[in-house]
Amino acid sequence: MKALSIIQPWASLIALGAKRIETRSWRTEYCGPVAIHASKRFPEDCGILCFDEPFRTVLSDYLREIHGSRVAYLPTGSILATVDLVDCLPVQSIHSGLFNENEWSFGDFSAGRFGWIFENVKRLQRPIQCKGAQGLWTVPEEIEERLKCSL
């Protein structure tokens, strides 16, 4: 299975189904299942962003569910969910029907970027610790077995 490492809070937003379009500076031809991995790195400015709307509202129940309400508890260095990557489009080609009410706030839709369109989000009950990588990477076999049992 392929995986994509994403910095928090965006990894959690995808795992919650609140973010369906991941914007990237590069495109992929790959379509199929993807494990969503929360990067180990969690920059301070990204943590501060969690207190702004609509991030705060969308993440609040999730944060209470996983350990209390502290942003520092967003999981890092872990696989949080699986999704189906169904398309990769230049952002200017994405039609409005793909956007939920907060999608504009959760991505960078500037010219020259690409929208990776996700469907069928399956959030894991417990994150699976795993080392990530840049780009689309292959989940180690032993982690993939654990993923199958967790879904």
Report pLDDT for 72: 55
Is pLDDT above 80 for 71?
A: no
In angstroms, the CA 123 to CA 28 distance is 23
Q: Considering only CA atoms, which of 130, 125, 124, 126 is closest in space to residue 143?
A: 130
Q: 114-124 pLDDT, tens per residue?
A: 999 999 999 99
Q: 22-70 pLDDT, tens per residue?
A: 999 999 999 999 999 999 999 999 989 988 999 998 998 777 766 555 5
56: burial class by Cβ within 10 Å (0-12, 13-18, 19+)?
Answer: middle
Which domains does the chain carry? 2-144 (2.30.130.30)
Q: 53-64 pLDDT, tens per residue?
A: 999 989 987 777
Is pLDDT above 90 for 96?
A: no
pTM score, whole prediction: 0.92
Report pLDDT for 69: 53
Report pLDDT for 119: 96
